[in-house]
Structure 1
Amino acid sequence: MSDTILEPRTGPDDRHHVQSMLMRESLLDKQVMASTESDVVRMLPDVHVVKIGGSSILDQGRAVTYPVVDVLAQLLKGGSKLILGVGGGVRSRHVFSIGIDLGLPTGVLAQVSVADALGNAHILGTLLSPYGVVAIPPEIFGHLLPLFIHSAPGVIFNGVPPYSLWEHPPEIGRIPPHRTDAGCLILGECFGCKSVTLVKDVDGLYTEDPKENPSASFIDSIGANELKKRQLKTLPFDEVLMDVLLNARLVRQFQVVNGRDPDRIAAAVRGEHAGTIVYAD
């Protein structure tokens, strides 16, 4: 944009105005919004976002967590730059249960869930500290993320998007729709990261919960629109991810892998198909 366009000018009313494409435009006008489509800068194009499940991995203790830590350590030592998000696990579910029983609104439930995920971030950060990984407090995470990721091989955050009291009310119930899966995908989109991987305790997406129905069919890959149309009874990730993915500009897919087979995490970071890929269609 040239200096001439930004030069303050005096209008008929003798007031100074800054010339811009959005001057005196309604930011709710669909045509105006469409005119803002343009290339988006990738701030961290070589960095991978990996979400480690709270209940599926960390809550399972040493037997499940340590092999995941070992694989993450190997990736870090091999030169991969990682942003690790964590979920709150069973403690967050307990807090949600108490809060719902007390009649707390969705925004308050979102705010109190941060503490449990942050605790898991410190746990994982401690285990990975020998490899130079740092856990970043939520209040400074976004602003200092590029500095930390260029200074350390990896960083850890609590995964919860900071909507807090401004969390969107869900269509059904009161559980916050934007939880740690959504926080990791939104972060990857904002910073233009190379990939987003969700580490769970299932091989990927199935037509039904495989823990309840062992004969459920595995879904190798699927478009977000098609997945929305199927209206599956349950999903291994936040349902809002489909809408986030469809509106994204930089991250066009994410992959769900089984952390009980940790080598799949490394495969996903290398760009291999190791679980279920959900893509924007």
Structure 2
Amino acid sequence: MSDTTTDRRHHVTSSLMRESLVDRGVMAGTEAPVVRMLPNVHVVKVGGRSVLDAGRAVTYPVVEVLAELLKTERLILGVGGGVRSRHVFSIGLDLGLPTGVLAQVSVADALGNAHILGTLLAPYGVVAIPPEIFGHLLPLFIHSAPGVIFNGVPPYSIWEHPPHIGRIPPHRTDAGCFLLAECFGCKTVTLIKDVDGLYDDDPKENPGASFIDSIGARELKKRALRTLPFDEVLPDLLLNCRLVKQFQVVNGRDPDRIAAAVRGEHAGTIVYAD
């Protein structure tokens, strides 16, 4: 609504018009229900190094499980860059490139893997969407096709947040898939890795590491584990989310776990908002 003063100027009436948007009290007053745009759609992150880099023996069974899921479920598939992203990071770090540039150059590798997975799933009606139109046209594509694929890198580009340690971009493909699910209010978030889930130490280096069946985000941050199978920023994101309340990590080397996780079953490690 607008109000006309005696000098005929128009003013937009708003509860925030005279408020500071850095005031904590004002920010607290903006809490309200959030619309779920795609409430029946599942987000599945396919690890580049965990799945695609492992070749046909690992990738094809994952493709078969995803193809079977596509018969009954709508899927948004995010893909990581894998070993090629790590190679680019290594070169960029050696050259002294800043975090924002590293974030930008990593997009190409994830996009390449998205096209690879998109090719394998094309017979089942899945389409790989170019990054520049993905967010805007996602509802159209997901209602026209059983599944879509995107490179999971969030588009922070040169505005990527500086990490607390080192220069590797903190928001990588796990975070990108998670943030997409939060924005569109998706039903589940599943991260496909090459381990059964979360351990208290790296199980590849320490066979005696203890498996963590489920854990709250606050407890996970408090424990400050040496290594995680997903982006370290995820617990922080989870604690601030309004729609996504948990994500699950499963082992892509056992593809049946992927289907179970998408169906809402406990098939790996569940990290929940608490």
TM-score bracket relative to the smaller structure: over 0.9
Deviations 1:108-138 (A, max 9, x none): 0000000000000000000000000000010
Q: Does 1:134 align with 2:127?
A: yes
Q: 1:114 aligns with which of 103, 107, 112?
A: 107
> Which residue of structure 1 lines up, in the alignment, with residue 198 of structure 2?
205
For this pair of structures, how many residues does the alignment match?
274
> Which residue of structure 1 lines up, in the alignment, with residue 14 of structure 2?
20
Q: Does 1:160 align with 2:153?
A: yes
Please give the secondary structure, in 2, of the residue aligned with 1:176: coil
Structure 1 residue 24 displacement after superposition: 1.9
Please give the secondary structure, in 1, of the residue aligned with 2:232: coil
- The 5 A counterparts of 1:164-175 are 164-175=157-168
- The 5 A counterparts of 1:125-274 are 125-274=118-267
Amino acid at match of 2:263: R
Partners of 1:129 and 1:146 lie apart in 2 by: 19
Deviations 1:65-122 (A, max 9, x none): 0000000000002x10000000000000000000000000000000000000000000
Structure 1 residue 143 displacement after superposition: 0.1
Structure 1 residue 14 displacement after superposition: 4.5
Deviations 1:132-184 (A, max 9, x none): 00000100000000000000000000000000010000011100000000000
Q: Does 1:39 align with 2:33?
A: yes
Please give the secondary structure, in 1, of the residue aligned with 2:163: coil
- When structure 1 is superposed on structure 2, of 19-28 and 129-138 the one drifting more is 19-28
> Which residue of structure 2 lines up, in the alignment, with residue 3 of structure 1?
none
Please give the secondary structure, in 1, of the residue aligned with 2:190: strand
Amino acid at match of 2:265: E
- The 5 A counterparts of 1:94-105 are 94-105=87-98
Q: 2:3 aligns with which of 9, 24, 32?
A: 9
Partners of 1:71 and 1:12 lie apart in 2 by: 68
- The 5 A counterparts of 1:45-124 are 45-77=39-71, 79-124=72-117
Structure 1 residue 25 displacement after superposition: 1.2
Partners of 1:177 and 1:147 lie apart in 2 by: 30
Partners of 1:150 and 1:185 lie apart in 2 by: 20
Q: Does 1:29 align with 2:18?
A: no
Please give the secondary structure, in 2, of the residue aligned with 1:277: strand
Please give the secondary structure, in 1, of the residue aligned with 2:248: strand
Q: Which segments of 5 or more consecutive residues in structure 2 lack a partner in the other structure? A: none
Q: Which segments of 5 or more consecutive residues in structure 1 lack a partner in the other structure? A: 1-5
Please give the secondary structure, in 2, of the residue aligned with 1:156: strand
Partners of 2:86 and 2:17 lie apart in 1 by: 47
Superposition TM-score, scaled by structure 2 size: 0.99
Q: Percent of aligned pairs with the same residue?
A: 84
Partners of 2:22 and 2:114 lie apart in 1 by: 38
Structure 1 residue 10 displacement after superposition: 2.1
Partners of 2:80 and 2:104 lie apart in 1 by: 14
Please give the secondary structure, in 2, of the residue aligned with 1:197: strand
